[in-house]
Structure 1
């Protein structure tokens, strides 16, 4: 095998190793892998039945309990509709 092909194979192997390390590394360093987990009541007001998304991290198991940007936008839209 030529020297360039050997170097390329080593570089690709190292890149694959680094990708695995990032995918399995601590969330505080590499970020959460948020996946849709379910829904929760947005609590816009007492009589509102709005639901929003809840996400959980597939790596560490942390859950945002519906405290996310998408839920904030839905809550704001609901409140805007209820204003006279």
Structure 2
């Protein structure tokens, strides 16, 4: 069960509507909003045209870390350099 506070719902909606939001983060926000409506992972994945694994990943990360969980995790290794 995924429950959102009113402020979280407003922030997620804002992420989906802002033009400057990265598309990946906007998609994650749409996934969480759809899950909060009580829709199961299979229906969310069909509605947003992503895999069920993607839906379950972002649902779990949101439940664990709330809004911070939607951001990209740091990648291992040294940062890439341009030569």
Which one has a larger percent strand, Structure 1 or Structure 2?
A: 1
Larger Rg: 1
User: Whose relative contact order is higher, 1 or 2, with alpha carbons under 8 Å and at least 6 apart?
Assistant: 2
Q: TM-score scaled by structure 2?
A: 0.26
